[in-house]
Amino acid sequence: MCEHLGKYRSLMPSLALIFHCIDIADGKGSGQVSSKAASLAVQWCVYLEGHARRIYGMCASPALTSAAILSRHIKKKSLPNPFTRRDIDRKNWHGLQNRDETEEALNILIDENWLKTQRKPIPATGRFPLQEYFINPVFL
Identify whether 73 is part of a domain: no
- Mean pLDDT across 12-27: 95
CATH number, domain at 107?
1.10.10
Task: Return the percentage of the chain with pLDDT > 70, whole number.
Answer: 96
Domain count within the chain: 2
One domain, residues 45 and 89: no
User: Whole-prediction pTM value?
Assistant: 0.57
pLDDT at 136: 95
Structural domain boundaries enclosing 123: 78-139
Per residue in 59-98, pLDDT tens? 667 888 899 899 999 999 999 999 999 999 999 998 898 8
Identify whether 66 is part of a domain: no
Contacts of residue 125, defined as CB under 8 A and 6 or more positions apart, other chains included, come to none
Identify whether 121 is part of a domain: yes
